Amino acid sequence: MQVVVKLFAALRERAGARERVLELPAGASVNDVWPALALGDEPSGLVYAVNRTYVERGTPLADGDEVALIPPVSGGAFVLSEAPLSVERVASEVASEAAGAIVTFVGTTRARSRGRDVIRLEYEAYEGMAEAEMERIARELRERHDVIDVAIHHRVGPVEIGETSVVIAVSAPHRAAAFDACREAIDTLKQTVPLWKKELYVGGEEWIGRGS
């Protein structure tokens, strides 16, 4: 059977391609994908998605499946945008007459990181799955906190120094719930959304891992 393997960030660069078509024997599982790629040692923290849903490694595969290899992510309405982000637009998407507070988080590109002079950042996403994961985060925030609405917009492509890379807005009847949910939103986004960040700095570049 054939499966299509999607590769992102440092894995894409290692393979020299965004996707590979693999021939696997009948009865193969997700566990068989990495060895078939012949890319050397499997990186730690790698997770897998089949047809845009996270799966366990023992999950059986079927002919025509799309398997995404998800490196540790760095890391809405749910938007990926190559254009500059508008805080006002994101906040307006969660506005409500029932809201007593709207809390926003704005992430920006800083000029120095880990003792290095940064030139710019470049973001890459698994489009389709990234937006779906942002929507899942928002749904769970509504279930756990007394919030009205959540919106997340994130840049893809190059983001220059001082520019905004992510905007999150949360509306709630009371400010405490809005603050708590907004903090949880950015922390969870960095851990679970398949979106990666390359840091270009004076003298080199590096893909930045989970939680950065």
Residues 132, 82 share a domain? yes
Which residue type sits at 91? A
Q: pLDDT (tens digit, 9 = 90+) per residue, 161-202? A: 999 999 999 999 999 999 999 999 999 999 999 999 999 999
Q: Which of 70, 93, 114 is a domain's end point?
A: 70
Is 151:95 a contact under the CB 8 Å cutoff? no
Mean pLDDT of 141-160: 94
| Helix, strand, coil % over all residues of the chain, rounded to 5 | 25, 40, 35
**CATH code for the domain of 187:** 3.90.1170.40
| Helix, coil or strand: residue 73 | coil
Residues 189, 124 share a domain? yes
Residues 36, 112 share a domain? no
Q: Note down the domain range covering 163.
A: 78-208
Question: Would you state the pLDDT for residue 76?
Answer: 45
Share of residues in the chain with pLDDT > 70 (%): 96
| Helix, coil or strand: residue 201 | strand
- Kindly report the pTM of this predicted structure: 0.79
The domain tally of the chain equals 2
Which residue type sits at 164? T
Residues 38, 15 share a domain? yes
Give 18's contacts (C-beta < 8 A, 6+ positions apart): 6, 7, 8, 12
Where are the strands (E) in the chain, listed by range? 2-6, 19-23, 47-50, 53-55, 66-70, 78-81, 101-108, 112-113, 116-125, 149-155, 157-160, 164-172, 195-201, 204-208
Residues 105, 38 share a domain? no
Q: pLDDT (tens digit, 9 = 90+) per residue, 47-68? A: 888 998 888 899 999 999 999 9
Residues 64, 121 share a domain? no
